[in-house]
Structure 1
Amino acid sequence: MHALILLAVGLLACKGGGPEGPPKPPAYQLVWADEFDYSGAPDPAKWGYDLGGNGWGNNEWQTYTDSRTNASVANGVLTITALKEASGYTSARLVSKGKGDFLYGRFEARAKLPKAKGSWPAIWMLPTDWAYGGWPKSGEIDIMEHVGYDTNMVHISVHTEAYNHSIRTQKSAKRILDGATDDFHLYRVDWTPDSIRGYVDDAPLFAFANEKTGYKTWPFDKRFHLLLNLAVGGNWGGQRGVDDLAFPASMVVDYVRVYQLKP
């Protein structure tokens, strides 16, 4: 009898069902962050800017600047503001390229989104080296997108040569998130060699597996960097018009954090 009991306990332990419980999930460590616990311009050691007003491939209306009227830090948050000015719309697009480039990890940001019709805020990632060629060949990871005409509907997506919106094969998921424009919520992507998974307030929303068929379906084996921006108009954001009276409009970010697996 004692031998049978010991054998059963040993089998449970081998299956992770013994006294120590099931295997623990992977352990992540913080490797890069901006808590926005300062005042002034965004930290130049962590963020640069994309500048200009060329439509950005989407027929967007805004001109991106590095002005503190469009991107500033105070009271523990980053505020990116789109303004209607005499010359047109201005806004900001912050990039961590060359200051925070990553291969795999957990990427999260806590943010409050604008309500303005015509606004198009995004928290996302682009390839640093464009190893497989121009968009969409080298990939894109969208941690959060929202368009003002569809209030509180948040999206998580990836784009590749095989899967992208221009050929109607985009891999995406969306969810109505009550209070997305009134309160802060957590947007997150976990990126490993095998999959990209997206979460809103730690609830799973999106999953994209590595099909292991080459870069056309999985270009996500190269470095990517973070972007924070607020666009105006464009093929998606302006699909139902832009309400000039709804601006200025802002995306407010509480923090951005990047974790990677412990060695």
Structure 2
Amino acid sequence: MATGRIIQIGLLSGILALTGCIPAGRPAVPGPPPSSLALPAGYRLVWSDEFDQGAAPDVRNWSYDSHRNRQGWYNGEEQYYARHRARNVRIEDGRLLVEAHAERLDRSDYPDWGGQAYSSGRLITRGHQSWTQGYFEVRARMPCVRGAWPALWLLPVQETGRWQGGEIDIAEHVGAEPGIIHHSIQTAARNFRTGDHPTAQSMVSDACTQFHRYQLHWTRDWIRIGVDDRAAMVVSPMDLGIAFDRPMYLILNLAIGGQWGGIKGVDAAAMPARLEIDYVRIYQEDRL
């Protein structure tokens, strides 16, 4: 979610290994990963949330992240992230709804309100669950309101500096460009600011009307990201300069506006914008 602008799809990291052109002194990368991104054999479910209980997210699984509300959020984003507010985050009909509204709040009711013109929600598993490697699947339906910027992504639990432990963006969607799902990896050396980070796109024409499975397969040797069992990005951590071996936590959020999400403005009249999550499922190899 650190991305602040659209970057053209570049050559996938790991191509050196696939062509045999591995720089001297570096260990050989295992053979190419499977072309399918379907759940691999030998993996078992280690954590999930089906959102089929209660009216609000399970506090044993999720926390609300609102730490930048008063100062304003990164990337010039324009939302206030509410905590325990059903208007913005709730469970209905077996789905998690993260909903953004055009509204100005009252600081007497919301002391950390920073003057934002929009409210929304941001959920994290930090403090509850984290994972090192695994197969991640989030079944979701995206909003297509201009200015909406939903994201499904991972950050390290312990971070010593910006992107020192990396960032994995499973899926981002800019409402002004319906159906283009962005996948990316950020590191301290390669990120949206340097403009050379690994990034790819999946074309999902009905992303805003149908549910799709947004997937990540993260192993020691490969990071593969895509949609509905089709990999759009294949990256070798070896080529990124960091091991991607730190525990990471999951983030589900719906930003509004910002340097990328608001590149064509925000259509406040089309609000509310809604990110719908059917389930989150995380699998790991039996040996882990």
Instruction: Give the alignment of 1:83-122 within 5 angstroms.
Output: 83-87=101-105, 88-122=117-151
Paired-residue identity, %: 41
Q: CA deviation at 1:109?
A: 0.2
Structure 1: which amino acid aligns with 2:220? Answer: P
Larger-gyration structure (1/2): 1
The answer on whether the counterparts of 1:104 and 1:192 sit within 8 Å (CA) in structure 2 is yes
Q: Give 1 or 2: higher strand fraction.
A: 1
**Is 1:175 the equivalent of 2:193?**
no
Which residue of 121, 130, 143 corresponds with 2:170? Answer: 143
**In structure 1, what is the equivalent of residue 267 of structure 2?**
243
Q: CA deviation at 1:219?
A: 4.6
CA distance in 1 between counterparts of 2:73 and 2:154 reads 15
**Is 1:49 the equivalent of 2:64?**
yes
**In structure 2, what is the equivalent of residue 228 of structure 1?**
252
CA distance in 2 between counterparts of 1:28 and 1:176 reads 28
CA distance in 2 between counterparts of 1:69 and 1:261 reads 38
CA distance in 2 between counterparts of 1:141 and 1:217 reads 15
The answer on whether the counterparts of 1:39 and 1:75 sit within 8 Å (CA) in structure 2 is no
**Is 1:30 the equivalent of 2:59?**
no
Structure 2: which amino acid aligns with 1:44? Answer: V
Q: Can you list the C-alpha shifts for 1:20-66, whole angstroms capped at 9, x where unaligned?
A: xxxxx541000000001113110000000101423332110001011
**In structure 2, what is the equivalent of residue 63 of structure 1?**
80
**In structure 2, what is the equivalent of residue 79 of structure 1?**
97
Unaligned runs of 5+ in 2: 1-39, 106-116
Q: Residue 194 of structure 1 aligns to a residue in which SS? A: coil
Once superposed, what is the RMSD of the aligned Cα atoms?
1.3
The answer on whether the counterparts of 2:151 and 2:253 sit within 8 Å (CA) in structure 1 is yes
Structure 1: which amino acid aligns with 2:73? Answer: W
Which residue of 151, 156, 159 corresponds with 2:183? Answer: 156
CA distance in 2 between counterparts of 1:163 and 1:252 reads 31
Q: Can you list the C-alpha shifts for 1:129-158, whole angstroms capped at 9, x where unaligned?
A: 11xx22222211011100011111001111
TM-score normalised by length of structure 2: 0.79
Unaligned runs of 5+ in 1: 1-24
Structure 1: which amino acid aligns with 2:81? Answer: Y
TM-score normalised by length of structure 1: 0.86
CA distance in 1 between counterparts of 2:243 and 2:80 reads 30
